Structure 1
Amino acid sequence: MSRIKTIILVHGFWADASCYREVIPRLHSTGYQVMAVQNPLTSLEDDIAATQRVLDRLNQPCILVGHSWGGFVITEVGLDPRVVGLVYLAGLAPDIDESMLDLMSRYGQPSPHFQEEAGLIWISPQGIREVLAQDLSDQQQALLYATQTPPAAAITTAKAKQPAWHHKPSWYLVTQADQAMPPPLQAELAQRMKAQTMMVSSGHFPMLSHPMTVVNIIAAAVLNS
């Protein structure tokens, strides 16, 4: 039996912790304790602090899981000694002094469906349908739009300082039909980290479209950390 019983889930842009709603019950049913961080998405430092607060409630080893921007967060938090493995779901995995913008600009320009207002970045209904969630139902798309948490625009230029993937084992789920996080960038990051890699024919939210695949890669991290 693995000594790891706790999974911490970290969400990305325009979402909140409820984006893991299809994954959490499945993890519970297999005996894991699960905690889902509510990122404020106001700054990298604030998101790091939110995840650190959850970690500080633990006295046992855990796996950190980061989706999209959440990958950036777990990259910075993952040096905590309680973290024994990192799982990236279409996640950003920067190296030292790299920002989200540095990584994403290698593969094109931001979508016109992203709308900056008063220092926050919103996404349009069309952006939900075409960029984030083209493989989800109309109802799921509407829920994502209605509950979106707009990130601060300044987050996109924040630089990584202490990439944990240099020191901790990592796993990466490449979402091959992703219109938000380019699959070639995902594959590049996974290869650079020497991450154990899985592929899924999914858009940007595999935890909603393919929850068992997400559970399986987390289980692989638990068994091999």
Structure 2
Amino acid sequence: MKYLQICSLLIIVIFFSTNLKAQSSSTKPTIILVHGIWADGSSWSDEIAALQAKGYDVVSVQNPLTSLADDVAATKRAIDRAPGKVILVAHSWGGYVITQAGNDPKVLGLVYIAALVPEVGETLPALSGNAAATELVRYVRPFNGFLYLSKDGIDHIFGGDLTTKQQGIAYATQLPAAQSLFTDKVENAAWKTKPSWYVVATADKAINPDLERFMAKRIKAKTTEIDASHAVILSHPKEITDLIEAAAVFPYQQ
């Protein structure tokens, strides 16, 4: 009889210990990373490894870049798969995606990394008109309804602070954007109701840093500036990881 009592007590202790551990791990939101044009999910490789080492579940979305709706659908699938709350992190065009997809109730916050952040109904050309144009268009190459970036564009406009090896990989792995992408519009802007963070890449030659500052100010984001090219997620992964983690713990400090 005493043996059975001891066994029962051990089962109860194990059950509550496991339950508490599960509750503790569930406080870490899933980090969902959304790449931009002329990139792919592997762009976040360093951040993925660092965040996983810190105990976060991470999903890097592979945007088809065929339409805003298709990209939002891909991100929504990642949100739906997540077991609990999520933090959405976007680079470049990915800002359009999380601005729409971020309206999901599971989303705790939005992190924009040198990203485009539209108002409702605002196309990419209209948004870009809020600052002086960059030389990006000179390096864009159309092909069969899609837009690619030339090797010189990768080296000098997209990732001027990357190593030669990184530039080569970025060029080889780029996903082109459908030309129709540039006229798509968001229907609801999640940044109006969700806390937001923004990283300005001060040496960005793809998106004017002044446009980045304009967008960050407009959405009242917690803003950080890094001396980096547009490919800041590749050249400064530690700083980006630290910022993502700050956004991830923020909701639990309130």
Provide structure 1 residue ranges, at least 5 long, that are not aligned to the other structure: none
Matched, 1:19 2:43: yes
Q: 1:122-161 maps to which residues of 2 (within 5 A)? A: 122-161=148-187
**What TM-score do the two structures reach when normalised by structure 2?**
0.86
Q: 1:1-225 maps to which residues of 2 (within 5 A)? A: 3-106=27-130, 107-108=132-133, 110-225=136-251
Deviations 1:154-199 (A, max 9, x none): 1011112100000000000111111001100001100011000111
Q: As a proportion of its length, which structure holds more helix?
A: 2
CA RMSD of aligned residues (A): 1.3
Query: C-alpha distance in 2, partners of 1:85/1:167?
Result: 9
Q: 2:40·2:62 contact (CA, 8 Å) conserved in 1? A: yes
Q: Which moved more, 1:29-38 or 1:105-114?
A: 105-114
TM-fit CA distance, 1:5? 2.9
Larger gyration radius, structure 1 or structure 2: 2
Helix, strand or coil: the match of 1:22?
Answer: helix
Query: C-alpha distance in 1, partners of 2:123/2:101?
Result: 15
TM-fit CA distance, 1:31? 1.0
Question: Which position in structure 1 is the counterpart of 2:16?
Answer: none
Query: C-alpha distance in 2, partners of 1:104/1:87?
Result: 20
Provide structure 2 residue ranges, at least 5 long, that are not aligned to the other structure: 1-23
Q: 2:133·2:208 contact (CA, 8 Å) conserved in 1? A: no
Helix, strand or coil: the match of 1:145?
Answer: helix
Q: Which amino acid aligns with 1:55?
A: I
Q: Percent identity?
A: 44
Question: Which position in structure 1 is the counterpart of 2:13?
Answer: none
